[in-house]
Amino acid sequence: MAGVVVVFDFDKTIIDVDSNNWVVDGLGATELFDRLLPTMPWNTLIDTLMGELHAQGRTLRDVADVLRIAPIDPHVVAAIRAAHSLGCDLKVLSDANRFFIETVLDHHGLRGCFSEINTNPSHVDADGRLRIAPHHDFHATPHDCGLGTCPPNMCKGQVLHRIRASVTAEDGARKRFIYLGDGSGDYCPSLRLAREDFMMPRKGYPVWDLICENPGLLQAEVHPWSDSKGVIDKKLPHFT
């Protein structure tokens, strides 16, 4: 379906865990994480922890090995492949980081299904240490979302607005958007979806709770999903 754009969150949507916590726990840095958490923004914290792990002798391969065993529901994998095979334009919009996301997608043979990954940038420095930067440089200029549910380093609503403008500009045709997410940061983009769009919040997670507080604020049709077998891989291809 060339007229359908499917936007996936990553943590607890494509994979069944938070990738940052998964790496921190898997590499034995949980105590340090808990100690530093009250002192700095989340995105800065993960970058700092990557530096601490590197100083302890942990390599980029160690990080990647942990990511490759992150749990992923086979029904989500099936949904991604089905939507891609139908011709949908699939994109990732996540507050994780590029290295984590690409490592997981490559491992499961899914990276080629996605035309775009919108996330916090990452790179490996000259010392072999993974660096993670904010998607939006909030130290220089706040993103001024104003909703109160977006982290300082990324307003997903603003990113979704840019994505819509970009895909519309390609051929001038309006696209139908389907958005899948779980966290409070996914609430802002849900409010920017149009009447012909679909919002698929993960039931029982923060975005679902926020939507339920005042469902009338959303224009898009809401279709929750959960861990139930076959829910997401049957619903998503049906909407496309």
**Is 9 a known active-site residue?**
yes
Q: Which of 11, 95, 186, 197 is catalytic?
A: 11
Q: Which helix (H) or strand (E) holds 122?
A: strand 122-124
Q: Are 71 and 17 in contact (CB under 8 A)?
A: yes
Closest to 56 (Cα-Cα) out of 37, 31, 28? 28
* Cβ proximity of 163 and 152 under 8 Å: no
209 is known as an active-site residue: no
Sign for the CA dihedral angle at 106, 110, 116, 118 comes to negative
Q: Which residues does 130 contact at the CB level (< 8 Å), separation at least 6?
A: 50, 54, 60, 63, 99, 122, 123, 124
Residue set of the binding site for Mg(2+)? 9, 11, 182
Q: Which residues are catalytic?
A: 9, 11
